[in-house]
Chain A
Amino acid sequence: AQKVTQAQTEISVVEKEDVTLDCVYETRDTTYYLFWYKQPPSGELVFLIRRNSFDEQNEISGRYSWNFQKSTSSFNFTITASQVVDSAVYFCALSEASGANNLFFGTGTRLTVIP
């Protein structure tokens, strides 16, 4: 069965610190997609990244970077030099090729960046 685990419920960091949000997934499919979404206090989820299971290259976008490791079934998200505006709940999600209509979300990690 598919499953997404975000073990960190809440994290607090001081502004400018780096922070890594962990995501571990389970799937029997060989083709699948992984996502990160940000949910700020307004409630509207914002798409951050989508990766497919055949592309293990790490990705960097500004202060954001993602580390995809199939060997450990992890797709971790790092924010460098965190800012107060990064405070939000971050969700990792999985979609399988065999069940393309659904995104399976983790329970989220609430990040608080303290000024």
Chain B
Amino acid sequence: GAGVSQSPSNKVTEKGKDVELRCDPISGHTALYWYRQRLGQGLEFLIYFQGNSAPDKSGLPSDRFSAERTGESVSTLTIQRTQQEDSAVYLCASSLTSGANTGELFFGEGSRLTVL
């Protein structure tokens, strides 16, 4: 499809396991964002990628969280040694222009992570 694609859509894991979430942005979109949405909460910024520039990691909550993106393609968000408080929906968004304030972000449907 033409939108932002995320996988898996649902992931249930045991506490202590590592998980990897994938985001396929819209082709041609240089900017990519990861957000976390806990139940009944707003979105929390995690990380931002812009082209080949160094990512803005200022929103990552701990060193258990990391993300990668090669060029303007797929991104993966990795959570190591998952904890129950990591349970949330992880949303990916991409944008044609750089910076969240310059225009529209296109969001995927999210990956729902449940840590037992």
Contacts and interface: CB of A to CB of B under 8 A. Distances in A.
B20 interface: no
A55 interface: no
A71 B69 CA distance: 42
A95 B104 CA distance: 12
A93 B37 CA distance: 14
A102 B104 contact: no
A106 B99 contact: no
Nearest to B99: A100
B: contact size bracket: 20 to 34
Interface stretch (A14-22, A37-45, A60-68, A76-84): A37-45
Contacts of B3: 44
B48 A101 contact: yes
B contacts with A: majority SS: loop
B12 interface: no
B105 A47 contact: yes
Nearest to B55: A101
Contact of A100 (B40, B101, B108): B101
A45 B42 contact: no
Interface of B: 3, 33, 35, 40-45, 48, 50, 56, 58-59, 89, 91, 93, 98-110
Given A4-B42, A106-B42, 19 more contacts: A44-B3, A44-B107, A44-B110, A45-B91, A45-B93, A47-B106, A50-B104, A95-B100, A96-B101, A100-B98, A100-B99, A101-B50, A101-B58, A102-B56, A102-B59, A103-B105, A107-B40, A107-B42, A108-B42
Interface of A: 4, 32-33, 37, 42-47, 50, 91, 93, 95-97, 100-108
